[in-house]
Amino acid sequence: MIDEFIKFKEKIRHIHAHDNHGERDEHLPIGEGTIDWWHVTREFSWFKGRTVLECRSVGDGKKSMAYLKNIATSD
């Protein structure tokens, strides 16, 4: 499903990001669902637009940021 989104990456101007288990819009912290964030971040490494983390709390936002920073530094 993510690859269907990624194929339009040249047209994307902003991203609303959260994780889920593929069945509904759960707004889980990034890294707590089934999305392959390593793949997504590699496909969008060029992206300079705005990214909004859709989180339920500040703590979830911090978890998401920590996860993204960790995969960004683990090549």
pLDDT value for 75: 63
Rounded-to-integer distance, Cα 45 and Cα 38, Å: 10
For 2-6, 16-20, 32-36, which range has the lowest pLDDT when averaged over its residues? 2-6
Helix (H) or strand (E) holding 5: helix 2-6
Band (pLDDT 50/70/90 cuts) for residue 24 is very high
Give this prediction's pTM.
0.84
25-36: pLDDT as tens digits: 999 999 999 999
* Annotated domain spans of the chain: 2-72
